[in-house]
Structure 1
Amino acid sequence: MNLFGTELGSSQIMALVGLVATLILWLFVLRGERSYARWFRAWEADRKARREAQNGATGNDDGPSHGGPWG
């Protein structure tokens, strides 16, 4: 096979295919990580909103008191 004026043997073609396959794999992994980060940010914001709504409804704005030596 001739690519950009260079003859490629079977081992070089397989190495090129391996590199392209690795690139595709990492693109899928990156997409999954970005999707997970986006989901986690939304989940954390929803959780914070629920917690603030619950604290606002009960009138407890400074969080739960544990009754320890500091509060």
Structure 2
Amino acid sequence: MKLLEANPYHNCDFGDKRLTNRAVLIAEALKVKYGKPLSKIFPSASDLKRGYEFFSNPKTTFEKLTQPSFKQG
């Protein structure tokens, strides 16, 4: 059985450590429940709201989210 790799989102640089921490939490939640609606992925309404806030934040660009994955390869 292959060991799970470390979460690459620990290395995201959004200019705010709280956003990096949120990216890590979201990635962990998505890994467990991939393919489900966000309302089923997040355990509470407040977590769902924080997820939407994360995705709509101008600091969390596609480039910054994908940069750690490109560095892994």
**What TM-score comes out, normalization by structure 1 length?**
0.30
Structure showing greater Rg = 1
Greater percentage in strand: 1
